[in-house]
Amino acid sequence: MLATSLPAQAPDGIVIDTQNASIEAYVASHVGYSERPLAIARAYGRAGARLAISSESYDDCQQIAALLVGEGIDAWPVKANLAAHSEVEGLAAAVRAQFGGLDALVCNAGVAPHMGPLATASDLDWETTMTVNLRSALWLTTALVPSMVARGGGSVVLIASIAGVRGNRSLGLYGLSKAALAQLARNLAVEWGPSNIRVNAISPGVIQTEFARPLTDSPALMQKRLALTPLRRAGIPDEVAGLALLLAGPAGGFITGQNLIVDGGTTIGDGN
């Protein structure tokens, strides 16, 4: 887990740009878990990227940008709420004006307002989950991928979840949205592939983040979960960030349309 002091409200997005380098990206998250997009931002920043930090709270944008600047990373704060289409359009316009274009787009937005059987989810739960977790990624790709095409190609990474590759009693609605996000990666890979745009999903398992604390803070639940995980531990944000960085660079140049699972083997084990 990253030992970093963060504001109470996590950043909604981190736009990452490089000039005369191989990586430029947008990383989108949502309130409640910022460790993973922060790790991705650090990884890209340490690779030479300039960052634009986006959140619905400008104060939080400034705090995160200042944190990264203090680590020697060039970061620029910009306010946007990813749940609002008009604000996503405004964010895209601001990014294009500031940086001119992108080489990579990482969509990390995710909320889970509903827990329990799908039949108990309200219309608002459905609207919130699908808008933030799925539609915002489509809005971002629609707005920003053309600028990548104009630069000769690029990479899109959509952060999904292993909740989207199997049934889940507690996170069924969240899992549906993340399964759809992985399908979005496949569809966009087909649509944009002829323009040299690669699109992939990453599906993390249990990663030590604020979002996962209801699980990781429970010894009984973790004992049960780790017994199903061959590596017998939870992951850390840097292990997701490393893969996101690989997919944005030359080493990931022939990978597209895939859903890459980072879960310590949870989904392939038999529990023994």
Which residues participate in catalysis according to the annotation?
Answer: 174
Joined together, the tokens standing for residue 192 give 């944009």
Specify the 3-state DSSP secondary structure of 254.
Answer: coil
Question: In Å, what is the CA distance from 102 to each residue of 24, 93, 216, 245?
Answer: 5, 12, 36, 14
Instruction: Please name the amino acid found at residue 208.
Output: Q
Measured between alpha carbons, how far is 241 from 74 in angstroms, rounded to an integer? 18
Strand order in the sheet with 197-204: 75-79, 50-55, 13-17, 25-28, 104-107, 154-159, 197-204, 259-262
Residue 134 CA to chain centroid, in angstroms?
11
Measured in Å, how far apart are the chain's first and last C-alpha atoms? 27
8 A C-beta contact, residue 139 and residue 88: yes
